Amino acid sequence: MSEEIYLDHAATTQMWPEVKAVMEPYLTEKYGNASTAYDMGKEAKKALDDARGTIADVMDADPEEIFFTSGGSESDNWAIKSIAGANKRRGSRIITTKIEHHAVLNSCKYLEELGYEVCYLDVDENGIVDLEQLKEAVSGQTALLTVMYGNNEIGTLEPIAEIGMLARQKGIPFHTDAVQVVGQLPVPAHRLPIDLLSASGHKFHGPKGIGFLYVRDEVRIPAFIHGGGQEAGKRAGTENVASIVGMAEALKLSAYRMRRNCAYLNRLRNYFVQRVMRECSGVRYNGHPHLRLPGNASFSFAGVDATALLVLLEEDRIRASAGSACSTGEARISHVIEAIGVPEEYAAGTVRFTLGAENTRQQIDWTVRSLKKNLALLRGEMIGQESPAAGYRMPDGAGTDSRRLSTDPRNGRLRIL
């Protein structure tokens, strides 16, 4: 197969051509600043208002509840730091989980340095947050609860309705990082007990560097970037009109295509998972069996190093990720894989495949073939002599330090001896 096979949609997605088309005028002739009074400014202001309205419609929210940001990371930082700051008098306790994105985890770490006490909830082997532990942890002194909706590494969907109800009973503001879910599954803000929600344009076929934070009407959130009066005076700076218009178009198209794409991705993912589990040995499927993002398939392969496997997959033009993109290059086991208790001999061989609507069954067939071949290679099994599907056992001297592979000193790529 000569085409590129992109199986890393949780890292980012390709902008849809319709999105580029609606952005183009705002990158060229319609360059007005939305804060100016003449017609060019009014044109930009109208585009902003329309985009905010579109996003509010899709999210079942009011336009006044949508604040544009530079992406998921900024939305998470804003929600966590500002709500914690505003509630300091109420208490300095923050509750989150062990499997959050680094934008959430490192915001919480920062707050710990400022004297906040952060409780990191456990998850079970499927990645579902421990609700009993949450019930014990919530107290009147809690300033914020933040639990992600869909996990970017293992795809597990958290029971945010239940979690939000718990927070509401105690009067605790509830934030959710929904970056992986918005555009994939319906997230009707007003019909969920959510106070704040983060989303990012490039995860649903929009442009990079743009996102939004939903803030429920009753929630008072302090300004994050001080300056001019943009975004109701809470997030100053001349608006990125082209990207905002593009993100709104991408979200609208995602909503139109959601039912069909979701069904297709579930089918394709299930086909992929069934084949891998049947035809590869020494493999674990990570995440919840069915409460998960439609395109996510995360596997841990015993006795192989994920980085080496990814290099070999890329030679077959397949792009996937080890754990999360943020930890690529680090030899460390991802905090998510650790939290769900993947056994040591499997953990280092964790690869995340995230499918998109443009992927085909032929591409999945090719990927399974490549996986089988390269697993056998990395485990030091002789191709043709021994079937890799014949029940996994680790051959002597094989595994992570397979003698059959070495790094080519000329270009740093793995080569086969």
Ligand X SMILES: *Cc1c(COP(=O)(O)O)cnc(C)c1O
**Alpha-carbon distances, residue 165 vs 97, 122, 172, 193, 259 (angstroms):** 17, 19, 10, 6, 27
CB of 381 to ligand X, least distance (A): 35
Residue placing its CB nearer to ligand X in the complex, 150 or 380 = 150
> CB of residue 179 vs ligand X: minimum separation in angstroms?
4
Binding-site member from 32, 72, 127, 356 for ligand X (CB under 6 A): 72
Among 45, 81, 93, 101, binds ligand X (CB under 6 A): 101
Catalytic residues: 326
Range in contact with ligand X (rule: CB under 6 A) among 23-31, 71-79, 165-173, 392-400: 71-79
Can you tell me which of 127, 183, 207, 211 binds ligand X, judged by CB under 6 A? 211
Tell me the closest approach of the beta carbon of residue 198 to ligand X, in angstroms: 7
| 152 lies in the binding site for ligand X (CB under 6 A) | yes
241 binds ligand X (CB under 6 A): no
Stretch that binds ligand X, among 65-73, 84-92, 218-226, 409-417 (CB under 6 A): 65-73
Q: Which of residues 312-331 bind ligand X (CB under 6 A)?
A: none
Instruction: Pick from 158, 177, 195, 381 the residue near ligand X by CB under 6 A.
Output: 177
Q: Does the footprint of ligand X cover residue 119 (CB under 6 A)?
A: no
- Provide the minimum distance between the beta carbon of 184 and ligand X in the complex, in angstroms, as a whole number: 11
Q: How far is the CB of 146 from ligand X (least distance, A)?
A: 11
CA geometry: angle at 412 spanning 406 and 413, to 5°? 65
Rounded distance, CA 153 to CA 21, Å?
Answer: 32
Check: CB of residue 180 under 8 Å from CB of residue 152: yes
127 binds ligand X (CB under 6 A): no
Point out which span in 126-134, 176-184, 355-363, 371-379 binds ligand X (CB under 6 A).
Answer: 176-184
73 touches ligand X by CB under 6 A: yes
Smallest distance from ligand X to CB 72, Å: 2
287 binds ligand X (CB under 6 A): no
Report if residue 179 touches ligand X, rule: CB under 6 A: yes
Residue nearest to ligand X (CB): 72
Binding positions for ligand X, rule: CB under 6 A: 71-73, 76, 101, 103, 148, 152, 177, 179-180, 200, 203, 211
